[in-house]
Amino acid sequence: MKAVKVVAFVLTIIGSLNWGLVGLFKFDLVKAIFGGTTVYDPGVVTRVIYVILAVSALYLLTLYDRVTRDD
């Protein structure tokens, strides 16, 4: 079960940081790595939400020790 927690945690962090990059710099790392042909230009509200997700991910980094600890 610990492995599942760690994988979920890491994927959440990576995804949230990517949305933060989109929100702050209009740079989609996933799109840059994996390609894509669609143009994506989020609105202001969407970008704010992406930034909030990125801040949440940074907060979750402080909880890493608790997430990886066995109960």
3-state secondary structure 6-67: HHHHHHHHHHHHHHHHHHHHCCCHHHHHHCCCCCCCCCHHHHHHHHHHHHHHHHHHCCHHHH
Claim: this prediction has a pTM higher than 0.85: no
Number of domains in the chain: 1
Enclosing domain of residue 50: 2-68
Give the model confidence (pLDDT) of 13-53 as tens digits: 888 888 889 889 988 887 777 766 555 665 676 677 677 77
| Mean pLDDT value across residues 61-67 | 79
